[in-house]
Structure 1
C-alpha cells in the first residue's frame, strides 16, 4: 500500500470538501496540463510541497495521449508515472494525497504528496467561471483551494500566459510559470560562444607563457583574465589583432590556441567564405572533426543553415570524413502526421526542409546546370531527409546530422535525438530563439537554450551566436526595425 501522508480531508461529510487537503506550512501547487506535457515528471519537482492534479488535467492528458501530436508520448509518460504512484491507493487516499517520498534520488527527491481533485463534482456556487472550458475549470480548482486552505499558499502553475492573466483577474493570488527547466533567467545571459576583449588583447594579458606544438602556438594565460571561460570558447579583440580558442582550463590558467584573425577569416568550405568573424568562428568548429556537437543560434539570415550545409558537404565529399548527411527538423503541429503527404519519407519532408534545398541552390547557383548539380550532389553526399518523429530508436553511425529549427524542441526531445548519434557522428543544431512556434516553449525554456547551457563545458561541443544578418540589406533592416 502506498504511504499516506497527513494530508487529510477537511470535512469528509462534504463531497466537495473531500477533495480539499488540510492546512499545512508547505505550499500547494495546482498543475495545468501543459506543465506535464512540457515535463512529464514535473509533479515530482516540488520537493516538500504538495501537488494537486485536477481531474480536467487527466481528461486532457487522456485525449492527447491517443492523438498524433508530438506531445502524445509525453502525455503517456506522465499518466504512467502517476499511475505507478497511485495504483495501490484507495479513492479516499487519492483525494487526500499520497506521499511521493522515494520517487527521487537522495535528498533532492520529493517528500510532498500528490492528490487528484475531482473538479467535475464542484457545485456551481463554488465556481467563479461558469463556462465549461478546461482552463476555466482548472482555475476554479485553484480558486476553490485558495479559499478553503487560507492562509496556506496555493499556487497555480501554468505555461499558458493568457491563463495566468485570467487566473489573476479572477482573484488568484499566486500564479507562476514552471521554471525548473530554466537554466537562465533571461535570454541575454545565454552563452554566445565567444568573448570580445575591449581594445587590444595583449594589453589585457600581461602575463603569458607560450609554446609551439607543430605549427600551432598555444598561450597559457591566467584564469583571472576570464574567470567564466569555458571549453571551446573563442577569444577575440576589438582591434582584430587576435583570435584564439580555449582548449583547456585549470584552476589557475587557460590554455588558448592562437588561431590568427586573418587565418580564421580565410577558412573556406564548399566554395564559400565567412562574411564576418561570427561565421568564421562557426565554420572553424563546423570543420573540426573533434567537435561532435555544434550549436548555431541567431536571427533569420545569419547563415546558420548555409554554413552547416557547406561544412557538411566539404567533410563528406571533399574530405571523405563521413558517409552521409541526414537532415531533419521539427515540423509544425499541422504537419506532424506526414503520412497525408504523397511520396517517400524524403519526399514528404521536402516541403519542411526547403531551407536546405534553397541553400544547396545558393551553393551551386553558378554551375552550368544548377538543378543537375543539386541532384548529383544530393546523391553523391547521400543526403537523406528524415522526420524528427521517426528518429527515436535509431543509431546513426559516421554521419553528419543537421537539425534545423531546433528552437521548437523541448529538452527531452533534443535528448532523444542527441542520444541517437553513434560513433563518428557529428550533430549540428541550428535555431532562432526569436521564432518559437511551440505553444509550450519560450526562449528561456526551449530545448535549444537548455543544451547550449548544459553542453558549454563539454570538450566535444561548441556554441555560436551569429548576430549579423547577411542575407540581404532588406532582411538586415527588417531584423533590426520590425
Structure 2
C-alpha cells in the first residue's frame, strides 16, 4: 500500500463509543487514534454510564490489535490483518502522539480535547500531503469546527447507516391506490379453517416482505404478506372491518394504522413489534393495552417489563429515593399516563392501577440493569427507542429468551441524542434489519389521535 493511494482515517472518541470495533471497518485504509481519544476512553470506562461498557470493549480491542507491536511500530502503523476475528481490515492502526503538539498562534486551544483532535488532523494533513486524511466524528459541531480550522475532509461514521433518507424507511405496510381487487388479475384463493389466503402476482407487490400489511384507499381490503417467491405473493386476508373491531383491554383502534399495530401486538407468533410514528399516534397506549390483554386476560406471558433510554439516568438515578421502580417512575411517566387512560372510568382509578401493576407484574427497569439478563415469558416495552444506537438495541433484543415479546416504539422526529440522526438511529437500523424476518412486524402509525391541538402542532410546528 503506497502513501499516494491509501487514505488515513482519524477517529473521534464518539466513534468508538458508538461502535467499539469501528476501527476494523475501514477496509484497506489506515486508521489513526489520537492519544487524547485513549484518555477520554479511560475516563469513561469506569463511570456508571450507558457508554462505559463500549469504552471498555474499545480499549480491550485496541489492546488486542497493538499488544505485540513495538512503540515505533504503533506510531508508524500496525497491520490490522494480524488481528484475529471476523473482519476484512487490511490497513494499519496507529496511535498519534497529540500530547507533543505545540500551542501555536492559531485559534485552537489545545487544552480542549476536541481541539487536540482537530489539530492532529491538521498535522496529519501536512504530513501526508499526497493522501486523503479524513477526520471521522459523529459530533456535528466538531465537524463544523474542523472545517473552519482547515481540515479538508470531515465525515460522519455511516457504516451502520442502511438508508440515506428517512423518507425511504419502511413503514411496514403498503397502501394501494383505489380498490385493491381492481388491480388484481388472476388470483388463487384458499380457505384454511376460518382464514382465507390469496396468491397474487408478484408484480402487484414487487417489494413485498414477510409480515408487511397491504391496505387500499377504498377501505375495504386489508391483508398481510405471509410468504412470497419470484412469481407470487401469498396474502392472509385479515378483513378491513374485522381489523377495525379489534379490542385490547377496552381499547379499539381509531384508524387502520392502529388496527395493523394491534394485529401485530396481539399475535403471539411475532416476537418483535416496532412501532414508529409521531407524538400522539398511540404507540405507548396500544403497546400497554395489548400487553395487559396478553398477560392478564389471555395468560400468554407472565409479566410486563417497561424500560426506556434516559441519557442522564446514570448520573441522576442514584440520588433519587426508593426502589428501582420508584427511581424510574419520573422517566416512565408515559406508562403511568397510559394506565390512567385505560382505567379512567373505573370507580377508583388509583386502586385499579395498583391492582393491575401487581396483577400484570409490571416492572419499571433502568436500561443500565438490562445487560446480562435473560428475560423469559415476558413482554418488554422499550419506549423512546429512537435515542438508542444499533449496538444498544442489540444488547436489549439479545436479552429476550424463550416466550418473550419485545415492543420497540419511538418517534424519529424527537431524537435527543447528541450523535444520532433519524437515519443513524438504532430504531431506523432495526426497522431495516428486521424487515423480512418472519418473527417481526413494523407499523408506522400515521396520524395523531391524541387531540386536535396535538395534530395541528405536529403538522405545522
| TM-score after normalising by structure 1 | 0.93
Matches within 5 A, 1:302-321: 302-321=281-300
Matches within 5 A, 1:32-43: 32-43=12-23
Equivalent pair of 2:48/2:314 in contact (CA under 8 Å): no
1:138 aligns with 117
- Using the TM superposition, give the Cα deviation of residue 334 of structure 1 relative to its aligned residue in structure 2, in angstroms: 4.6
Q: Tell me which moved more, 263-272 or 116-125.
A: 116-125
State the Cα RMSD in Å.
1.5
2:3 aligns with 23
2:245 aligned with 1:285, yes or no?
no
- Using the TM superposition, give the Cα deviation of residue 374 of structure 1 relative to its aligned residue in structure 2, in angstroms: 0.6
* Partner SS, residue 191 of structure 1: coil
Match of 2:57 among 59, 77, 80: 77
* Partner SS, residue 436 of structure 2: coil
2:158 aligned with 1:176, yes or no?
no
- Using the TM superposition, give the Cα deviation of residue 161 of structure 1 relative to its aligned residue in structure 2, in angstroms: 0.8
Return the alpha-carbon distance in structure 2 between the equivalents of residues 265 and 206 of structure 1.
Answer: 27
* Partner SS, residue 273 of structure 2: strand
Unaligned runs of 5+ in 1: 1-5, 7-21
Equivalent pair of 1:70/1:336 in contact (CA under 8 Å): no
Matches within 5 A, 1:131-170: 131-170=110-149
- CA gap of 1:348–1:188, structure 2 versus 1, over 3 A, is same
- Using the TM superposition, give the Cα deviation of residue 441 of structure 1 relative to its aligned residue in structure 2, in angstroms: 1.5
- Using the TM superposition, give the Cα deviation of residue 337 of structure 1 relative to its aligned residue in structure 2, in angstroms: 5.0
Return the alpha-carbon distance in structure 1 between the equivalents of residues 445 and 105 of structure 2.
Answer: 53
Return the alpha-carbon distance in structure 2 between the equivalents of residues 332 and 172 of structure 1.
Answer: 31
Equivalent pair of 1:297/1:465 in contact (CA under 8 Å): yes
Q: Tell me which moved more, 433-442 or 236-245.
A: 433-442
2:257 aligned with 1:257, yes or no?
no
- CA-to-aligned-CA distance 1:95-144 (integer Å, 9 cap, x gap): 000000044767x6100000000011022349662442111110111111
Match of 2:336 among 342, 357, 365: 357
- Using the TM superposition, give the Cα deviation of residue 478 of structure 1 relative to its aligned residue in structure 2, in angstroms: 0.9
Return the alpha-carbon distance in structure 2 between the equivalents of residues 458 and 85 of structure 1.
Answer: 35
- Length, aligned pairs only: 461
- Using the TM superposition, give the Cα deviation of residue 446 of structure 1 relative to its aligned residue in structure 2, in angstroms: 1.1
2:171 aligns with 192
Return the alpha-carbon distance in structure 2 between the equivalents of residues 143 and 85 of structure 1.
Answer: 25
2:420 aligns with 441
1:424 aligns with 403
Return the alpha-carbon distance in structure 2 between the equivalents of residues 292 and 126 of structure 1.
Answer: 59
2:37 aligned with 1:57, yes or no?
yes
* Partner SS, residue 81 of structure 2: coil
- CA-to-aligned-CA distance 1:334-392 (integer Å, 9 cap, x gap): 55552221111111111111111100000000011000111111111111111111111
- CA-to-aligned-CA distance 1:194-231 (integer Å, 9 cap, x gap): 00011110122112111100111100011121111110
Return the alpha-carbon distance in structure 2 between the equivalents of residues 369 and 408 of structure 1.
Answer: 36
1:479 aligns with 458
2:312 aligns with 333
2:186 aligns with 207
Return the alpha-carbon distance in structure 1 between the equivalents of residues 106 and 34 of structure 2.
Answer: 14
- CA-to-aligned-CA distance 1:419-470 (integer Å, 9 cap, x gap): 1111111111111111111222111111111111111110000001112111
Return the alpha-carbon distance in structure 1 between the equivalents of residues 13 and 398 of structure 2.
Answer: 27
Equivalent pair of 1:184/1:444 in contact (CA under 8 Å): yes
Return the alpha-carbon distance in structure 2 between the equivalents of residues 102 and 263 of structure 1.
Answer: 60
- CA gap of 1:336–1:212, structure 2 versus 1, over 3 A, is farther
2:53 aligned with 1:98, yes or no?
no
